[in-house]
């Protein structure tokens, strides 16, 4: 019996040694307490831990074999593939006073963006009590953590980075293959362009550079004697000193070498959270700073990392190698119906497609939705829930998107099939549109490259309320609010029509219900997803072909919300700027002259103020009622805001303190003063 026990122990030890995990954690900096010793309610003071985590992956296990090129990565003496990443933790000094919940922000290109959500500031390294601000999360006792995952993230300004190996051919020679660069400079001063990967050859005859002014134009080849390699990572136009044409679209296709195993970034987050949640110490005896404390785990992602989390789920990384659940709850903000293209050879995760940027990258790839179904365009059967269902590790998820994601990121594909038919919500997922919002919060005093002022609608109060709802769904089983998105079945959705020869489509004005607002151009431009051909090896993450365009390609059906007589969206969660408007707010915008006029203005929306009086609006034939016609007096406006926020609180779409702030802001406003 003793020999049998010894054998079992040895087998368990051998199995453990082969598992992917964080093998070493180094805390290189401790600030305790941080935030000038500020106390956060009953939780008390917080401390800041910064350091580096080192991981190992067994490339032969099914959980890791899905990582593109991992079998071509160098291995250590144990046959493992190594990586290292920055880590950052904010935790109560006394963990027993915390709420035993982990808030993992998936960083955006190395940066922390949780400040507005948390009612704090401080960028990548918040330190002072002033930067801690009102501390939405700290006052409730959450431990917060960040880790490097993005191979393209910069280390400047305390950015979180990850180091992953370069893949090589079995004989040690460099791997080469096609790579693609979409180049647009919205200035007239750019003299050179940096490539994501080194060129395999500096012969200009082996690469192609094209240029066009508008998406609808046919690309013109730039002659090989009109550009050159400065070095293996840089190109420039000739003669030297020639600038790239302002806002023109350049596309560069070349043979690159030395792809990094970028998909390791997915395993890195999996293993970091698993370590914090389940481990006592690393292989060298260094203690887990959260050992025995974490009972529930949540992630929060904004924009690029929300697309990362989409793929994180699809590829099965919410189960660690012992099939333990990694994340219990996910709040994704502005991920759209997209992935991130991280788990491909020559990955460029910093890219993201919008109406006029970064087309032809592997971002909008089936599956888009959660349920498992067959795509009639590609013939593939898949769904975001497939792998987690097999391991019973599916998290609770809120997919929250701005109007901009519906117009430029095909967010409707999250909750429809490939033909645009509404899908029932999965048991573990809810979907929300923040009506009329642009991608983030715009500055209503500026227009940038766009024709109209930017949209200042701020979704953070809604995001806070939904995070509480997510927590209660995970920890208490409290049923969350129902989804609020445009639906064809409800008559609130308008289907986009593909535009021949372009990456974009159109939303027809009459179908949308868009009013004829004086001085405002409407083209209906919207991003359309096409079935792109990246070659026969794309199923293994290897791109052998970049499409030259979308002419004649099958397209997926996507749609946006209809609008009311003011041009404000009728579907989704209508926060006070939309429900009690003083302007038309949109998630789409158009570029102005000299910057690709009348093409999509990327992430921006519009803020188009109403006239103050009936006389002012009738003088210019503005069909929208004036502010005075709507509310009569300042008190009338405040009362309308109060009624709006009361309804939102009842639906659990606003917390009481944020509702009061909306009312206070209305009271202090100059509306009809």
d(CA 398, CA 415): 12
DSSP 197: S
Residue 186: inside a domain, yes or no?
yes
The whole-number average pLDDT for the span 501-509 is: 90
Q: Where are the alpha helices (DSSP H) in 19-125?
A: 62-65, 115-118
- pLDDT at residue 502, as a whole number: 82
Contact 256/346 with Cβ under 8 angstroms?
yes
Tokens 């497609």 belong to residue: 353
- Other CB atoms within 10 Å distance of the CB of residue 210: 16
Rg (CA), the chain: 26
Asked if residue 284 and residue 143 are part of one domain, the reply reads yes
d(CA 512, CA 509): 5
Contact 269/172 with Cβ under 8 angstroms?
no
- pLDDT at residue 5, as a whole number: 36
The whole-number average pLDDT for the span 573-587 is: 98
Look at residue 537 and give its three-state secondary structure.
coil
Cα torsion through 325, 328, 333, 337, rounded to 10: 50
Asked if residue 133 and residue 48 are part of one domain, the reply reads yes
d(CA 145, CA 161): 14
Let me know the angle formed at the C-alpha of 62 by 57 and 66, rounded to the nearest 5 degrees. Answer: 80
Residue 63: inside a domain, yes or no?
yes
Tokens 């991130």 belong to residue: 340
Asked if residue 284 and residue 226 are part of one domain, the reply reads no
d(CA 348, CA 185): 18
The pLDDT tens digits of the residues spanning 101-141 come to 999 999 999 999 999 999 999 899 999 999 999 999 999 99
Closest CA to 179 of 21, 360, 403, 419: 360
d(CA 288, CA 271): 13
d(CA 399, CA 384): 13
- Other CB atoms within 10 Å distance of the CB of residue 5: 9
Contact 51/275 with Cβ under 8 angstroms?
no
Residue 5: inside a domain, yes or no?
no
Asked if residue 125 and residue 188 are part of one domain, the reply reads no
Name the phi and psi angles at 182, rounded to 5.
-100, 115
| This prediction's pTM | 0.95
- pLDDT at residue 20, as a whole number: 65
Asked if residue 228 and residue 190 are part of one domain, the reply reads yes
Residue 366: inside a domain, yes or no?
no
- What is the count of structural domains for the chain? 2
Asked if residue 281 and residue 145 are part of one domain, the reply reads yes
d(CA 260, CA 265): 11
d(CA 365, CA 338): 7
Closest CA to 222 of 189, 202, 203, 244: 244
**Element (DSSP H or E) covering residue 9:** helix 2-18
The whole-number average pLDDT for the span 291-306 is: 98
In the chain, what percentage of residues exceed pLDDT 90?
93
Domain hosting residue 214, numbered range: 176-257
d(CA 171, CA 483): 53
Closest CA to 276 of 55, 42, 17: 55
pLDDT at position 650 over 90:
yes
Helices (H) and strands (E) in the chain, counts: 15, 26
The pLDDT tens digits of the residues spanning 412-467 come to 999 999 889 999 999 999 999 999 999 999 999 999 999 999 999 999 999 999 99
Asked if residue 220 and residue 98 are part of one domain, the reply reads no
Asked if residue 200 and residue 140 are part of one domain, the reply reads no
Contact 571/560 with Cβ under 8 angstroms?
no
d(CA 596, CA 525): 13
In the chain, what percentage of residues exceed pLDDT 70?
97
The pLDDT tens digits of the residues spanning 198-209 come to 999 999 999 999
Asked if residue 244 and residue 278 are part of one domain, the reply reads no
Asked if residue 230 and residue 252 are part of one domain, the reply reads yes
pLDDT at position 14 over 90:
no
Asked if residue 191 and residue 70 are part of one domain, the reply reads no
DSSP string, 144-187: EEEE---TT---GGG---EE-PBPB-TTSPBPEEEEEEEE--SS
Residue 406: inside a domain, yes or no?
no
d(CA 447, CA 261): 40
Handedness of CA 658, 664, 670, 673 (dihedral sign): positive
pLDDT at position 16 over 60:
no
- pLDDT at residue 418, as a whole number: 84
d(CA 440, CA 303): 9
- Other CB atoms within 10 Å distance of the CB of residue 587: 30
d(CA 195, CA 197): 5
Residue 52: inside a domain, yes or no?
yes
Residue 38: inside a domain, yes or no?
yes
The pLDDT tens digits of the residues spanning 377-405 come to 999 999 999 999 999 999 999 999 999 99
Strand locations in 483-619 (E): 493-495, 497-498, 504-506, 525-527, 559-561, 583-586, 606-609
The pLDDT tens digits of the residues spanning 482-495 come to 999 999 999 999 99
Binned at pLDDT 50, 70 and 90, residue 19 comes out as low
- pLDDT at residue 150, as a whole number: 97
Residue 343's Cβ-side half-sphere holds a number of Cα atoms within 13 Å equal to: 28
- Beta-sheet pairing, 162-163 with 234-237: unpaired
- pLDDT at residue 6, as a whole number: 33
Contact 443/436 with Cβ under 8 angstroms?
no
Higher pLDDT, 3 or 31: 31
3-state helix, strand, coil split of the chain in percent (to 5) is: 25, 25, 50
Binned at pLDDT 50, 70 and 90, residue 551 comes out as confident
Asked if residue 180 and residue 158 are part of one domain, the reply reads no
- pLDDT at residue 639, as a whole number: 98
The whole-number average pLDDT for the span 609-637 is: 98
Mean per-residue pLDDT over the chain, rounded: 95
Residue 9: inside a domain, yes or no?
no
The whole-number average pLDDT for the span 42-55 is: 98
């Amino acid at each position: 019996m003793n020999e049998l026990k010894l054998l079992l122990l040895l087998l368990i030890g051998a199995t453990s040694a082969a598992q992917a995990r964080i093998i070493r954690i180094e805390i290189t900096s401790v600030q305790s307490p941080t935030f000038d010793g500020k106390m956060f309610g009953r939780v008390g003071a917080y401390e800041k831990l910064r350091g580096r985590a080192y991981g190992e992956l067994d490339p032969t296990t099914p959980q890791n074999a899905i990582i593109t090129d991992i079998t071509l990565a160098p291995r250590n003496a144990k046959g493992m593939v190594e990586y290292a990443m920055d880590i950052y933790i904010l935790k109560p000094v006394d963990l027993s006073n915390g709420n035993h919940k982990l808030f993992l922000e998936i960083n955006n290109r190395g940066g922390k963006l949780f400040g507005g959500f948390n009612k704090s500031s401080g960028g990548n390294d918040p330190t002072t009590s002033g930067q801690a601000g009102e501390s939405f999360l700290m006052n409730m006792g959450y431990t917060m953590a960040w880790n490097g995952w993005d191979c393209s993230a910069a280390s400047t300004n305390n950015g979180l980075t990850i180091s992953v190996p370069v893949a090589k051919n079995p004989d040690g020679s460099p791997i080469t293959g096609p790579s693609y660069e979409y180049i647009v400079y919205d200035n007239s001063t750019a003299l050179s362009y940096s490539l994501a990967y080194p060129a395999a050859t500096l012969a200009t005859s082996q690469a192609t550079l094209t240029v066009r002014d508008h998406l609808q134009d046919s690309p013109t080849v730039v002659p090989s004697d009109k550009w050159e390699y400065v070095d293996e990572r840089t190109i420039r136009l000739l003669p030297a000193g020639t600038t790239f044409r302002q806002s023109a679209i350049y596309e560069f296709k070349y043979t690159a070498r030395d792809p990094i195993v970028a998909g390791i970034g997915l395993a890195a987050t999996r293993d970091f959270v698993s370590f914090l949640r389940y481990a006592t110490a690393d292989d060298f005896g260094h203690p887990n700073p959260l050992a025995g404390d974490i009972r529930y785990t949540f992630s929060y992602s904004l924009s690029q990392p929300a697309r990362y989390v989409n793929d994180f789920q699809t590829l099965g990384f919410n189960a660690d190698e012992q099939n333990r659940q990694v994340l219990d709850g996910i709040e994704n903000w502005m991920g759209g119906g997209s992935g991130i293209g991280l788990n491909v050879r020559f990955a460029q995760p910093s890219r993201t497609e919008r109406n006029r940027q970064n087309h032809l990258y592997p971002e909008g790839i089936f599956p888009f939705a959660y349920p498992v179904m067959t795509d009639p365009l590609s013939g593939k059967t898949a769904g975001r829930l497939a792998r987690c269902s097999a391991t019973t590790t599916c998290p609770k998820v809120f997919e929250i998107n701005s109007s901009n994601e519906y117009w430029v990121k095909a967010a409707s594909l999250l909750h429809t099939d490939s033909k645009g038919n509404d899908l029932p919500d999965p048991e573990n997922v809810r979907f929300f549109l923040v009506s009329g919002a642009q991608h983030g919060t715009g500055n209503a005093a500026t227009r940038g490259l766009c024709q109209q002022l930017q949209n200042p609608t701020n979704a953070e109060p809604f995001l806070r309320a939904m995070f509480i709802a997510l927590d209660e769904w995970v920890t208490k089983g409290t049923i969350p609010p129902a989804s609020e998105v445009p639906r064809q079945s409800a008559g609130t959705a308008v289907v986009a029509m593909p535009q021949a020869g372009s990456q974009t489509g159109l939303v027809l004005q009459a179908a949308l219900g868009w009013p004829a607002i004086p001085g405002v151009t409407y083209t209906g431009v919207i991003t359309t997803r096409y079935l792109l051909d990246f070659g026969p090896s794309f199923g293994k993450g290897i791109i052998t072909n970049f499409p030259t365009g979308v002419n004649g390609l099958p397209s997926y059906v996507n749609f946006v919300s209809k609008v009311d007589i003011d041009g404000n969206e009728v579907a989704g969660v209508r926060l006070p700027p939309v429900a009690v408007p003083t302007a038309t707010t949109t998630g789409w915008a158009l570029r102005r002259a000299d910057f690709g006029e009348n093409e999509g203005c990327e992430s921006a929306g519009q803020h188009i103020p109403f006239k103050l009086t009936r006389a002012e609006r009738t003088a210019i034939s503005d069909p929208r009622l004036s502010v005075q016609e709507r509310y009569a007096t300042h008190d009338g406006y405040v009362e309308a805001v109060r009624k709006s926020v009361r309804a939102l609180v009842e639906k659990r779409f606003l917390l009481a303190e944020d509702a009061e702030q909306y009312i206070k802001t209305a009271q202090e406003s100059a509306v009809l003063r």
